[in-house]
Structure 1
Amino acid sequence: MQAQQLLMVCQTFAGPGVIQAYPTSLLSAARIFLRYRGLLWELTKRDFAGRYKGSFLGLAWSLFNPLLMLSIYTFVFGVAFKARWGTPSEDSNANFAIVLFSGLIIHGLFAECLVRSPTLITSNVNYVKKVVFPLEILPLVSLGSALGHFLVSLVVLIAFCAIVGTGLHSSGILLPIVLLPMLLIVVGLSWFFASLGVYLRDFAQVIGIVSTILLFLAPIFYPISSLPPVYQKLLIFNPITLPVVQVRGLLLWGERINWGAWAISMVVGLAVFNLGFVWFQKTRKGFADVL
């Protein structure tokens, strides 16, 4: 989409008087998202479909990718290493695959946003220089696209459970509530990293390494109870640990939400979200000069 077309779209969704100042309050963030919700939806659809544009299989790749990774990880850890979750009901390769995949899709959602965030601004230079564009919605576009892939993977998980005869619990309907603190954290971090990525171009390489570290320092390939207490406490600081544990509890074992832990993570999520938004709004004035 050309710069002039984007300008027209922004004016259409924003109405008269496009926001010129850079407010930093949570209320102003909510107002911006509501004002540009139409633009956000259109850009999210374009971002999701654009990854597969021109490929022969198109959107089918969004199904093949999680299936391939599920097969590889299940073979390596379930067959080669003979890893088990430690309970009789998860003692088969199929059940271990379900437990493993339910954790992998949480990490995939978080990591996709995290890895893309340092290049959100540098890959959209025209939005910075030529168009009156709400740059603060770009992390939301990335999150929306990642949520699309997450939903595809969730459908794969549900279908696999139906095939092997493992039912999912109705408490899974609370999944959005469990994921909300993590989504707030990932948006806040995306604002931080998108800004830093403009000034520190090597930062994108660092985030890729961090994403891999978070994968193995979360209870995805092993239950957190298998670790000594001191390491269990350290893993709590991983932002995907609690979502992985609680999503598995809801979907696979019908456990209740630990509302105390959820409330603490919600406070942390709101803090990271707010700090990330303030940082982005304060530093965005120099984007055009650097780019």
Structure 2
Amino acid sequence: MGGDRILPSVRLSPPACRRSGAPPDVLTTLAHPWRHEALIRILAWREISGRYRGSLLGSLWPLLTPLLMLGVYTLVFGVIAPTRWPGAQEQGIGMFALRLLAGMVVHGLLAEVLSRAPTLVTSQPNYVTKVVFPLEALGWVSLLTALFHTAMALLVLIVLNGVLGTGLSWSLLALPAILLPYALLLLGLAWLIAALGVYLRDLAQLVGPLVMMTMFLGPVFYPRQAMPVAAQPWLAVNPITIPVEQARRALFEAQWPQWDVLAQYSLVAMAVYLFGLWAFSKLKKGFADVL
């Protein structure tokens, strides 16, 4: 990867952490996104550009994919098998498809990050055994790559909604605030799954079905109100529920997010982020022996 030119700049320097009296590895990993920002940016861009290298349409695919998804959802859920969504008939098939696409875009971020997580470390054994490398950066690279595709899909969705749907509103400015805690939560889960995946290879087989469960047990194909009243509180346990609902609120209802709900979600997301980072920093000490 041209690592001889990059890796010397990312060697860890823990003395400052020792002076603070805190565990060196924990403070180092907390600081690594800023200390290794250039490395993370280079690897993320290489991942994005490499995915479409050699394809006929190249960089147009991140924009075309959500359009293809929208067409499929409109056909399947609006024409072939109409679903029960409050107000769907009044708003039309197109509006229903846009709401469905919004849920799929938010879930797609989770799917891309967590599906790669079990093999995030095991697929890069040279980074573990042969070079000095900040392994936590792999989680950031995976997240940034997924965020790029999510941003492209959201851009298409916003334009289509502006032209064919409910229009544009100032509440769209809240989308970064909605996605930020969601991204941190996913990064924490990715670190945790990646670390456990080194020791438990069965996780690679388990994560796929779990990712699919989050889609069907979340408000992607139906709103929370369509579920039985007794089951509705449990829907909040799904990590995509709050981001999907708040994103739709900002996109289609021209309303700002429910800040109290988003604040509670952010606290949980930060706890998951910190726990995943702590677990990864502890478990990575044995990666070289396993790999």
TM-score, normalised to structure 1's length?
Answer: 0.91
Mapping for residues 157-172 of structure 1, pairs under 5 Å:
157-164=157-164, 166-172=166-172
Structure 2: which 5+ residue stretches go unaligned? 16-22
- Are positions 1:268 and 2:268 aligned together? yes
**Per-residue Cα deviation, 1:79-128 (whole angstroms, up to 9, x for no partner):** 12222531268631111111111111000011100101111111111111
Partners of 2:272 and 2:147 in 1: CA distance: 20
**Per-residue Cα deviation, 1:232-276 (whole angstroms, up to 9, x for no partner):** 101000000000000000111012321221121111111111111
Partners of 2:90 and 2:247 in 1: CA distance: 16
User: Which one is further off, 38-47 or 75-84?
Assistant: 75-84
Q: Displacement, 1:207?
A: 0.7
**Per-residue Cα deviation, 1:22-51 (whole angstroms, up to 9, x for no partner):** 8454x5434211110011111110011111
1:11 to 4, 8, 12: 8
Q: Displacement, 1:162?
A: 3.7
State the identity as a percent.
Answer: 44
Cα pair distance change 1:277/1:78, threshold 3 Å:
same
Partners of 2:107 and 2:226 in 1: CA distance: 20
Cα pair distance change 1:30/1:287, threshold 3 Å:
closer
Partners of 1:24 and 1:217 in 2: CA distance: 37
Q: 1:191 is aligned with what amino acid? A: W
CA contact (8 A) 1:7 1:131 kept: no
**Per-residue Cα deviation, 1:54-80 (whole angstroms, up to 9, x for no partner):** 222222222232222222222211112
Q: 2:74 is aligned with what amino acid? A: T
- Are positions 1:231 and 2:231 aligned together? yes
Partners of 1:9 and 1:62 in 2: CA distance: 28
- Are positions 1:80 and 2:80 aligned together? yes
| Count of aligned pairs | 284
Partners of 2:194 and 2:4 in 1: CA distance: 22
Residue in 2 aligned with 1:42?
42
User: Which one is further off, 69-78 or 160-169?
Assistant: 160-169
CA contact (8 A) 2:12 2:134 kept: no
Structure 1: which 5+ residue stretches go unaligned? none
User: Which one is further off, 156-165 or 143-152?
Assistant: 156-165
CA contact (8 A) 1:40 1:141 kept: yes
Secondary structure of 2:75's aligned partner = helix
Cα pair distance change 1:90/1:123, threshold 3 Å:
farther
User: Which one is further off, 198-207 or 32-41?
Assistant: 198-207
- CA RMSD of the aligned region, Å? 1.9
Q: 1:55 is aligned with what amino acid? A: S
CA contact (8 A) 1:24 1:277 kept: no
TM-score, normalised to structure 2's length?
Answer: 0.91
Q: 1:160 is aligned with what amino acid? A: L
